[in-house]
Amino acid sequence: MLDRYLEGDVARISPEAPVPVVRMTREWYRPGGAGNVAASLAGLGCRTTLAGAAGQDPEADRLRQALNEAGVADCVLVGPPGCRTICKTRVVSQGQHQLLRLDQDGDRPAFQAAGATLRARLDSLLDTQDVVVLSDYDKGALTPALVRATIASCRDRGLPCIVDPKQVDFLVYAGASLLTPNLLEARRAVGRPIDDDDSVGQAACELRERLGLEAMLITRGADGMTLATAGGLHHFPAEVREVADVTGAGDTVAAVLAACLGSGSRVEDACRAASVAAGIAVGHPGCYVVRASELDRALRGCSPKVRSPEAARQWALDQRRAGRSIVFTNGCFDILHAGHLACLEQARRLGDSLIVGLNSDASVRGLKGPTRPVVGQDHRAALLAGLSCVDAVVLFDGPTPEDLIRLIEPHVLVKGGDYAPDGIVGADFVRSYGGRVATIPLVPGLSTTSILASSRDADRLRTAESA
């Protein structure tokens, strides 16, 4: 599917009808449906092949371009002449509130014919793969014959086969490695209410045994996920984050499961990673692609506020779409103290969101010598992320944050009062597009250098007294 977004300002109601008037400012495209799963796998660093049905129309061309930009390595899209690509057009305000969705559905018989074509090419498609995902949106391409043939071929080859189902009757998926229905889909499959851990667990075990699956995973939104394996039941709590949009969360789960199982991880570890990734994804508007570095930090217990440069760029784009102004400041923040806190709190008041560029350990050593930093970069980042006035933290290795500033394009660039505004790195760039440069008075007598000097003086005094 192709996801098309039309974004604009909403300032008045139409005089012709009681509907908002949208003054369009931007249009963009993203891979949707199974394409989002492929894009998510590519974002995790996997070489990904997408096979599916699409039309022969401008939407298909845009879909291929969006997949290419997302890093999907190979694309096998088939469809007879005259077939239309499924396209979902969302009209959104600059705050990312969805105002309207227009669906252009495909031709089901044509997609079923495309499924037959894919089945004929199945062996060549599977020859170079480590794992297979069947992302079923019940649009016709994944015919029962294609589904059964794919699962059988995967079993013969020893490939994990993960299925995100949409059919009411799950029997068509029998023999798959892992099935990942949501709660509603699982409830329909067993034909009874399932609402708590016990009933969901019973349903997961029942479906796993009935379908001959290696594992059954039921995703439960805010209640987490429940996994049934031959070894027993496992409940994974949802990662508690601010929810911006649940669109595509199931695709994220399927992609992370595939990336983990394809590299030999245990299914329990894969599910934990998928739960963490879904928590990251739903914190962003639209279909968000979770990056490998971002997931790695989250799995190590790092705050979601600590972002890679690429994730920080996407965060900044999301902030702008929501109409929020971005403030940027930077520093080493070695031994975080009250002076730092005062500057950060004042910086945050200059806009809606504050992002802090943090010198990495290598950068600090280059600036301050081999004995610094006193506190490692992961700990410094965690401390900054724990402050309520800080919305994002991103590490940089260079001597200055110039490249990071160009990536973020903040509305306001801030440094402490020991800098002259014209001497602040990135000042000219920020002013070039109408941004603002500001300085904040320092708290007298508070600096990392003075704190370290006082500590050394105290040590010398204690040594002299003991002598």
Task: Give residue 208's identity as a one-letter amino acid code.
Answer: R
Q: Cα–Cα distance between 376 and 373 in angstroms, integer?
A: 6
Q: Cα–Cα distance between 77 and 10 in angstroms, integer?
A: 37
- Please check whether residue 285 lies inside any domain of the structure: yes
- Please check whether residue 255 lies inside any domain of the structure: yes
Q: What is the DSSP string of 117-168?
A: HHHHTHHHHHTT-S-EEEE--SSSSS-HHHHHHHHHHHHHHT--EEEE---S
One domain for residues 55 and 131: yes
* Percentage with pLDDT > 70 across the chain: 94
One domain for residues 290 and 328: no
- Please check whether residue 221 lies inside any domain of the structure: yes
294 is in an annotated binding site: no
One domain for residues 336 and 363: yes
Task: Give residue 348's identity as a one-letter amino acid code.
Answer: R
One domain for residues 113 and 202: yes
Confidence of residue 466 (pLDDT cuts 50, 70, 90): low
The enclosing domain of 425 has a CATH number of: 3.40.50.620
pTM (2 d.p.) = 0.78
Question: Does residue 315 carry a pLDDT above 70?
Answer: yes
Confidence of residue 26 (pLDDT cuts 50, 70, 90): confident
Q: In terms of residue numbers, what domain contains 295?
A: 32-75+108-300
* Percentage with pLDDT > 90 across the chain: 74
Which of 282, 300, 318 is the C-terminal boundary of a domain?
300
Cα dist. 52→7, 44, 115, 162 in Å?
A: 28, 21, 8, 16
465 is in an annotated binding site: no
Contact yes or no for 96/286 (Cβ under 8 A): yes
183 is in an annotated binding site: yes
| Residue bearing the bigger pLDDT, 247 or 454 | 247
148-184: pLDDT as tens digits: 999 999 999 999 999 999 998 999 999 999 999 999 9
- Please check whether residue 286 lies inside any domain of the structure: yes
**pLDDT reported for residue 93:** 85
Q: What share of the chain is helix, strand, coil (3-state, %, to 5)?
A: 40, 20, 35
One domain for residues 260 and 335: no
Query: Average pLDDT of 7-35?
Result: 92
One domain for residues 178 and 237: yes
Which of 277, 300, 323 is the C-terminal boundary of a domain?
300
Task: Give residue 316's identity as a one-letter amino acid code.
Answer: A
- Provide φ and ψ at 9, rounded to 5°: -85, 140
Question: Does residue 96 carry a pLDDT above 70?
Answer: no
The H or E element spanning position 393 is strand 392-396
Distance of CA 200 to the CA centre of its chain: 27
One domain for residues 156 and 235: yes
One domain for residues 310 and 295: no
Number of domains in the chain: 2
105-130: pLDDT as tens digits: 989 999 999 999 999 999 999 999 99
Residue with tokens 């699962």, as numbered in its chain = 151
Distance of CA 414 to the CA centre of its chain: 28
- Please check whether residue 17 lies inside any domain of the structure: no
* First-residue to last-residue Cα distance in the chain: 78
- Please check whether residue 26 lies inside any domain of the structure: no
Q: What is the DSSP string of 213-273?
A: -SEEEEE-GGG-EEEEETTEEEEEPPP----S--TTHHHHHHHHHHHHHHTT--HHHHHHH
Residue with tokens 């039921």, as numbered in its chain = 218
67 is in an annotated binding site: no
Q: Cα–Cα distance between 67 and 75 in angstroms, integer?
A: 8
- Please check whether residue 81 lies inside any domain of the structure: no
One domain for residues 338 and 429: yes
Query: Average pLDDT of 423-429?
Result: 95
Q: Is the dihedral of CA 331, 336, 338, 342 positive or negative?
A: positive
Which residues does 263 contact at the CB level (< 8 Å), separation at least 6?
A: 130
**Residue from 136, 251, 334, 361 carrying the catalytic annotation:** 251
Query: Average pLDDT of 236-253?
Result: 81
Query: Average pLDDT of 126-152?
Result: 95
Query: Average pLDDT of 375-390?
Result: 94
Distance of CA 347 to the CA centre of its chain: 27
One domain for residues 222 and 113: yes
Cα dist. 200→25, 28, 175, 272 in Å?
A: 45, 39, 21, 18
The burial class, CB within 10 Å (0-12 / 13-18 / 19+), for 293 is: middle
Cα dist. 170→86, 174, 426 in Å?
A: 24, 7, 57
**pLDDT reported for residue 240:** 60
One domain for residues 275 and 128: yes
Q: Which residues of 360-381 are buried (b: 16+ CB within 10 A; e: fewer)?
A: bbebbeeebeeebbbbebbebb
Cα dist. 54→72, 121, 326 in Å?
A: 16, 16, 39
One domain for residues 369 and 246: no
- Please check whether residue 219 lies inside any domain of the structure: yes
Which of 267, 300, 333 is the C-terminal boundary of a domain?
300
Question: Does residue 467 carry a pLDDT above 60?
Answer: no
Residue 251 annotated as catalytic: yes
Please, what's the largest Cα pairwise distance for the chain?
Answer: 93
The enclosing domain of 168 has a CATH number of: 3.40.1190.20
CB atoms within 10 A of CB 407: 16
- Provide φ and ψ at 76, rounded to 5°: -120, 90
